[in-house]
Amino acid sequence: MSQGEGRLEQGDAITHFRVSIAKEERFAEFYTGEGADGRLHDASGQPGVSFCRQVFCQTHAQRSVDPLQAMPLNHIAESGDSGIVSFSGFRALPFHVQRWLAADIVAPHDGEYAFRLGTCGGVRVWRSGEQLACFTPFTRNQMQHVLVRLALREGENNLLIHLDELFERDTDCLLHMIYLDEPALGIVPVVGSPLPATPVSPAPDGSRLLTLMAQREYGPEAETLLYCLLKQVSAREEGSVFSLLTLLQLWKNARQADFPEPLWRRVKSTILGYRYWHDECGCDAMDFWGKDNAPAFHAAQMQAGALFPDERFIASSRFGHQQHRLGEMRLKGVNA
């Protein structure tokens, strides 16, 4: 029988939960300890676990979570036909995203009841303040499962659930709870409003900025576009390498007099402070291996090094002429 009929039988998934809004925090925003790390690739040369996730697993997987800090459960989350509840989405920067969920289950008698608990992320379960399960694999976009036995009391049991994940670009954040035991359990229907959709911010129009500057039309629109590009590149957002290429083109074409002096200096410092490949220091969610991304990173490294041959680049500690040669070599390798 389905949960909607008030019963949870063997093989059924819990499909409806009361749920909080997301609590989102930038992760490792100022961490710059990463250097060359062979674990960034697996044996086949494909990207493996990011350094950002390695740090996250070390600091968050086994941490204590206080159920008294649960957020208000004012909304409803429900699964599709698969029985999997999804909070997946996209973040251009590494974000630690947490949600609280609850389901009220009615047991016929005291005892332990078996569930198959699946997650992309990490999940913890409490009943009346007592932690019943903790499963925190945090394997990005790969659902993991574990068999748990939840100690329930006769009558109604409020299960409080904490679900969290490190979001890196497109990230699956999933919960799957399948009942495996007998007898059937009761389940209390949930009420509330659906979760609001997460707004998506548009990436900045670099081509528009270049057009304005080519026409010597520096004004409020151009300044706003430039600040947006600088913010994206400085934060090393996913896709920011393409905004960086705009900044490099802008630097080559523009005259220093076209900008206020502080803004001109910021363009230079942003270029010198960028992370041009995964072997350079930084902790971010940029995708270096995408089909179009790798050539863009190599082209940016080559161009930036050529523009500032005698300057020190912060993330690599290389001089510009070294960056230029390395980027040129890598770009030739990609195009070979």
What pLDDT, in 10s, does the model give residues 159-215? 999 999 999 999 999 999 999 999 999 999 988 888 887 776 677 788 998 888 888
Q: How confident is the model at residue 108 (pLDDT cuts 50, 70, 90)?
A: very high
Indicate the average pLDDT of the chain: 90
Domain of 13, in residue numbers: 3-194
Q: Could you give the percent of the chain with pLDDT greater than 70?
A: 92
pTM for the full predicted model: 0.87
* Domain shared by 115 and 220, yes or no: no
Task: Verify that 37 and 172 share a domain, yes or no.
Answer: yes
pLDDT reported for residue 196 = 82
Q: How confident is the model at residue 1 (pLDDT cuts 50, 70, 90)?
A: very low
What is the CATH number for 25? 2.60.120
For residues 330 and 267, state if they share a domain. Answer: yes
How many domains are there within the chain? 2
What confidence tier does 39 reach under pLDDT thresholds 50, 70, 90?
Answer: very low
Residues 101 and 130 in one domain: yes
**Is 199 part of any domain?**
no
* 162 plus 235 within the same structural domain: no
pLDDT of 4 > 60? The answer is no
- The answer to whether position 42 is within a domain reads yes
Residue 43 has pLDDT above 50, yes or no: no
CA distances from 157 to 110, 129, 142 (A): 11, 11, 30
Within a domain: 201: no
Q: Which residues contact 96 (CB under 8 A, 6 or more apart)?
A: 24, 25, 26, 27, 56, 60, 164, 165, 166, 167
**Do the domain assignments include residue 14?**
yes
Identify the residue with better confidence: 2 or 21: 21
The answer to whether the CB of 92 falls within 8 A of the CB of 169 is yes
Does the pLDDT of residue 333 top 70, yes or no?
yes
Same domain, 190 and 168: yes
| pLDDT tens column, 219-273 | 888 889 999 999 999 999 999 999 999 999 999 987 767 778 888 899 999 999 9
3-state helix, strand, coil in the chain (%, to 5): 30, 30, 40
Residue bearing the bigger pLDDT, 28 or 302: 302
